[in-house]
Structure 1
Amino acid sequence: MTADAQTTRLHSFADDALGEHDAVGLAELVRSGERSPQELAAAAVERARRVEELHAVAYESYDKPLLPAERTGRLYGVPTFVKDNADLAGMPSNHGTQAFQGKLAREHGGYARQFLSAGMTVLGKSTLPEFGFNATTEPPFAPPTRNPWHTGYSVGGSSGGSAALVASGVVPIAHGNDGGGSIRIPAACAGLVGLKPSRGRHIDSAMARKLPVNIVSEGVLTRTVRDTAAYTAAAEEFWRNPGLPPIGYVEGPGSKRLRIALLLENIGGPVPPGPIRDAVEKVAATMESHGHHVEPVPMPFSAALETAFLEYWGLLATFVASTGKLADRRFDATRLDDLTLGLRRYFLRSAWRTPVMLYRLRAAAATYQRALGPYDAVLLPTLGRETPELGYLSPTVPFDELIERLRAYVSFTPINNITGTPINNITGTPSITVPAGLSPAGLPIGVQFAGTRGNERTLLELAYLLEAEHPFPRLG
């Protein structure tokens, strides 16, 4: 374990089988015979044990890791963790709640099979807030998942455990999913790359298929753009949605000069001067220096869309609380956390507005296409404020106060979960978060590149360019 008493940074990078390699580098070592999957898994387990203080592991399978069935896959032999809301045979899925205890899954879920097709070794499940509803991973019944850049701060949510494990060096890549920013928020907090693909880009999980309206996309968190690109290619080789253009294996920046929209205001108004605005403007300058045209644009959405998303958020909490016993007779709704119960109460007070809420969410697709569709990409902040200290977004904060804090914090990420084409479904446009420097407090700041549905290739190319020009900060 490496910890600094002044900054309370915590990481597990060491001179071992994993070294400082990313997932692509480790897969190359396995293919060459220089390392074995067993050596890499053992090193990752040792690293995980050295940073247990992060509380990022929801379920350990260290003694019986889930090994790939065949010696195939772009990332064969690379150790990883899967978020604790995806079913893996022989492991429980507890969804970050104490309302029930998940049984051992009998088989892999549909998306899990696609994830495993990359050839990775699964060492266990990573933590998340209850049912992924919060933007921090701080369960009231267990220690919070800590940010390895500063253990007194949030690592985001809902894929917080995966972010902590990747940023701290335990594994180079881990699973996440994103229904309102749950890949991109922790990626920004932990200095990682986090791609939220277009909806439909991957096989839906059983959880997502049960939602009243599915806004969830699956993906990974990584320390390098090439790892995200390699996983994206591997997943596409297993299954590709014929309704979306293929991505292929993106290996570097593109050569085309692009028209990029610069979005520096959220629904509440302009992003104020400070580290977040500075980071976005620095990235904009880098894009212009490479011949891309960057053009400021106003926020195309009103407060009505933000309210509609909050109402839908409440609908999901109501759905979980009301149907939990159908999935597990032991489900106890009284043990749900205060955020989930507060969201349920919020929705029930406004349930009569559900048709209007769904209309506004679906209409957002046309608004997005009209305002931002003419651009090749959109550059915008990932978060509306800097990463907060633990406790600021805890589900134990009074509901109305917590919701206002969350509104300000996650004001940018939901846009790409609830917009896309065709407009008869909330299909979701792609967006990638990449590190863009450090705040004065020494915590990462992330920015997003977003695009129109199916345009992940362009986003990866832009991420490669930024990584080359401004190498991402690393803990190791």
Structure 2
Amino acid sequence: MDAKQTNGGRRHFLKTGAAAGLALKVGVTAAEPRASTPALPMPEYEKLDALALASAIREGRLTALEALEAAIARAEARSQINAVALRHFDLARENAQRLSRMGRAERAAWAQTAPLAGVPFALKDLGVAMKGTVTTQGCAFFKDAVADHDSTLVQRYRAAGLNIFAKTTTPEFGQTATTESRLFGLTRNPWNLAYSAGGSSGGAAAAVAAGIVPAAHASDGGGSIRIPSSHCGLFGLKPSRGLVPMGPKMLEGWLGLSAQNVISRSVRDSALLLQLTQGPEAGSRTGPQPGALIDAITRPPRRLRIALMEQNPFGAPVHPECLDAVRAAARLCESLGHVVEMAAPKLAIGEMFGSMGIATAAGMLASVRMREKETGRTAREDEFEPLNWRSLQLARGYSAEQAFTARTVFDQAARTVDLFLGEYDLILSPVTAAPAPLLGAMSLDQPYESFVKVAMTASPFTAIFNMTGHPAMSVPLHWNGAGMPIGAQFAAPFGAEATLLALAAQLEQAAPWKDRRPVL
């Protein structure tokens, strides 16, 4: 095929919607009406997941530069959502131009090792490093912290061919389940701009829900992948402790609470990205064995025995809409031949969450002290959100014994859940105890007492599996009467990501969500 034919085919692809045929065929559901945005380039861009975009780039139906400009145009046109914290557009354009200059044979050869070559991608502005760029952690004290290296995970994203063009918003140090900060302002939920997109990976979820990228990097220390996925109608899986590398500087985050992966619209994007990034790095000593995750989504799971945990671990009420969501998920699982029974592990919830507070505050303090050493100056109170400054002062008084005991509490909880999952294949629960809150309700800039009342509705279910290290996912199967999405959480035995992904793919086919999108 000569250049004229190739360019003609690409124009046809961009103008006629032929690209839609590349999307994962999971069925069709009634789509929400969408406002047209004729000024945005590449109208079909938002219908393509990462695999479909990579296929189109590899086969020459569009260039990496065209895909990147489509992403950038949407990030700028939908800036009122405030999902993008840092723009690395020029760096990404250089990468895209380099790929766009390759011939078809050269692109195909590179795609053998880089299956997502040219796909636009965004990192979360927390806990990762990309050499020569700033990661602020959502905090003014880190606003000029330029990385001198790539995180191991970023190295693996680059090796996969992803074109990183931005970092997404996060609350300061990821310390709340909304994405609001003094440094970058409020990140809004694309389904209703008055509401939170969740946190702490709210920028990642908002960017995917708004069609800026098909998938985005996210991290989860207490629910920070699953909560935004639930609030924004997306798929999000927190992997088992140690499966995805956290290094090279620190090989565990928050005494093992934190894990990294992505938020995506399609299950297959999450499966591929996890497959490409899983596995040990230099210095790793613990973690599950990497699995064949793409293979897992090509066949339905065996008949699963699922424990349904409806009761809030704190004994507080669960909002009726969240119960509606989890019960709808239970009915769908039963219709697919799985067995669902009411059951829940018995956990020392008070000790667990007290230990979590010690771990997260101590981890934040370690990061601040490392930055103080780099800058040669002491951090100031006015460079932090009030509630985080409070936590930092408390952390200065924690003892080594308290930190050691916290990890022991997590390990004992993990043992309890392991034994429980000897009887069940999965645990099904709400993601949160309440739907997405209004912006401001969980801000870190308010009195501690008012913050705690609302924050306790956010992560009573999700944080359990950060403390135990088990994998857990949020699946978008329910929308309330106001049109806001509410996910359902499934947790699995340690290292059983393949089981979760197989079920997620089955649910995606039975109750497709890819065409359910916010009106922008």
Same fold (TM over 0.5): yes
SS at match of 1:446: strand
Partner of 1:316: 363
- The question of whether the paired residues in 1 share the 8 Å contact of 2:153 and 2:277 is answered with no
User: C-alpha deviations, 1:263-293, integer Å up to 9, x for none?
Assistant: 1112222754611101111111111111111
Q: State how far apart, in whole Å, the 2-side matches of 1:124 and 1:315 are.
A: 29
Pick the aligned partner of 2:488 from 442, 447, 461. 447
Q: Please show how residues 166-315 of structure 1 align to structure 2 within 5 Å.
A: 166-206=208-248, 208-209=250-251, 211=253, 213-236=255-278, 243-249=288-294, 250-269=296-315, 272=318, 274-302=320-348, 303-315=350-362
User: C-alpha deviations, 1:158-179, integer Å up to 9, x for none?
Assistant: 1111111110001101101111
**Pair 1:337-2:385 in alignment:** yes
Q: State how far apart, in whole Å, the 1-side matches of 2:144 and 2:252 are.
A: 17
Partner of 2:16: none
Q: State how far apart, in whole Å, the 1-side matches of 2:406 and 2:148 are.
A: 37
Cα distance change on mapping 1:196 and 1:98 into 2, 3 Å: same
SS at match of 1:408: coil
> Please, which moves more after superposition, 71-80 or 231-240?
231-240
Q: State how far apart, in whole Å, the 2-side matches of 1:258 and 1:64 are.
A: 46
Pick the aligned partner of 1:27 from 22, 43, 54. 54
Q: Please show how residues 53-72 of structure 1 align to structure 2 within 5 Å.
A: 53-65=80-92, 67=95, 71-72=110-111
Q: Which amino acid aligns with 2:363?
A: L
Deviation at 1:253, TM superposition (A): 4.7
Q: State how far apart, in whole Å, the 1-side matches of 2:250 and 2:479 are.
A: 34
Q: State how far apart, in whole Å, the 2-side matches of 1:318 and 1:369 are.
A: 31
Q: State how far apart, in whole Å, the 2-side matches of 1:11 and 1:312 are.
A: 47
Q: Which amino acid aligns with 2:517?
A: R
Deviation at 1:295, TM superposition (A): 1.3
TM-score by length of 1: 0.89
Partner of 2:447: 398
Cα distance change on mapping 1:31 and 1:322 into 2, 3 Å: closer
Q: State how far apart, in whole Å, the 2-side matches of 1:114 and 1:293 are.
A: 38
- The question of whether the paired residues in 1 share the 8 Å contact of 2:254 and 2:360 is answered with no
Q: State how far apart, in whole Å, the 2-side matches of 1:12 and 1:309 are.
A: 45
- The question of whether the paired residues in 2 share the 8 Å contact of 1:264 and 1:381 is answered with yes
Cα distance change on mapping 1:104 and 1:392 into 2, 3 Å: same
Partner of 2:29: none
SS at match of 2:167: strand
Structure with greater proportional helix content: 2
SS at match of 1:418: helix
Cα distance change on mapping 1:91 and 1:12 into 2, 3 Å: farther
Q: State how far apart, in whole Å, the 1-side matches of 2:279 and 2:407 are.
A: 34
SS at match of 1:437: strand
Deviation at 1:123, TM superposition (A): 0.9
> Please, which moves more after superposition, 362-371 or 310-319?
310-319
Cα distance change on mapping 1:212 and 1:293 into 2, 3 Å: closer
Deviation at 1:208, TM superposition (A): 4.3
Deviation at 1:458, TM superposition (A): 0.6
Deviation at 1:456, TM superposition (A): 0.3
Partner of 2:15: none
Cα distance change on mapping 1:373 and 1:404 into 2, 3 Å: farther
- The question of whether the paired residues in 1 share the 8 Å contact of 2:85 and 2:184 is answered with no
SS at match of 1:449: strand
- The question of whether the paired residues in 1 share the 8 Å contact of 2:244 and 2:280 is answered with no
Cα distance change on mapping 1:236 and 1:332 into 2, 3 Å: closer
Partner of 2:131: 89
User: C-alpha deviations, 1:425-457, integer Å up to 9, x for none?
Assistant: xxx111111112212232110111110111000
Greater Rg by CA? 2
SS at match of 1:209: coil
SS at match of 1:257: coil
Pick the aligned partner of 2:419 from 370, 389, 394. 370
SS at match of 1:177: strand
Partner of 2:204: 162
Pick the aligned partner of 1:40 from 58, 61, 67. 67
Partner of 1:412: 461
User: C-alpha deviations, 1:128-185, integer Å up to 9, x for none?
Assistant: 1111111111102432111111111111111111111110001101101111111111
Partner of 2:185: 143
Cα distance change on mapping 1:327 and 1:296 into 2, 3 Å: farther
Q: State how far apart, in whole Å, the 2-side matches of 1:110 and 1:10 are.
A: 40
User: C-alpha deviations, 1:332-369, integer Å up to 9, x for none?
Assistant: 24111112122234445665744443321221111111
Query: What stretches of structure 2 of length at least 5 have no aligned partner?
Result: 1-31, 100-106
Q: State how far apart, in whole Å, the 2-side matches of 1:234 and 1:52 are.
A: 30
SS at match of 2:427: strand
SS at match of 1:453: coil
Q: Which amino acid aligns with 1:437?
A: H
User: C-alpha deviations, 1:378-431, integer Å up to 9, x for none?
Assistant: 111111111000000011121122123212221111111111xxxxxxxx1111
Partner of 1:389: 438
Q: Which amino acid aligns with 1:30?
A: I
Deviation at 1:124, TM superposition (A): 1.3
Cα distance change on mapping 1:350 and 1:94 into 2, 3 Å: closer
**Pair 1:456-2:497 in alignment:** yes
Q: State how far apart, in whole Å, the 1-side matches of 2:378 and 2:164 are.
A: 27
Q: State how far apart, in whole Å, the 1-side matches of 2:148 and 2:393 are.
A: 35
- The question of whether the paired residues in 2 share the 8 Å contact of 1:114 and 1:203 is answered with no
Q: Which amino acid aligns with 1:28?
A: S
- The question of whether the paired residues in 1 share the 8 Å contact of 2:301 and 2:499 is answered with no
Deviation at 1:215, TM superposition (A): 2.0
Q: Which amino acid aligns with 2:355?
A: A
Q: State how far apart, in whole Å, the 1-side matches of 2:409 and 2:36 are.
A: 44
Cα distance change on mapping 1:212 and 1:272 into 2, 3 Å: closer
Q: Which amino acid aligns with 2:305?
A: R
> Please, which moves more after superposition, 329-338 or 453-462?
329-338
Partner of 1:4: none
- The question of whether the paired residues in 2 share the 8 Å contact of 1:17 and 1:35 is answered with no
Q: State how far apart, in whole Å, the 1-side matches of 2:125 and 2:449 are.
A: 28
Q: State how far apart, in whole Å, the 2-side matches of 1:366 and 1:141 are.
A: 40
TM-score by length of 2: 0.82
- The question of whether the paired residues in 2 share the 8 Å contact of 1:434 and 1:447 is answered with yes
Cα distance change on mapping 1:12 and 1:195 into 2, 3 Å: farther
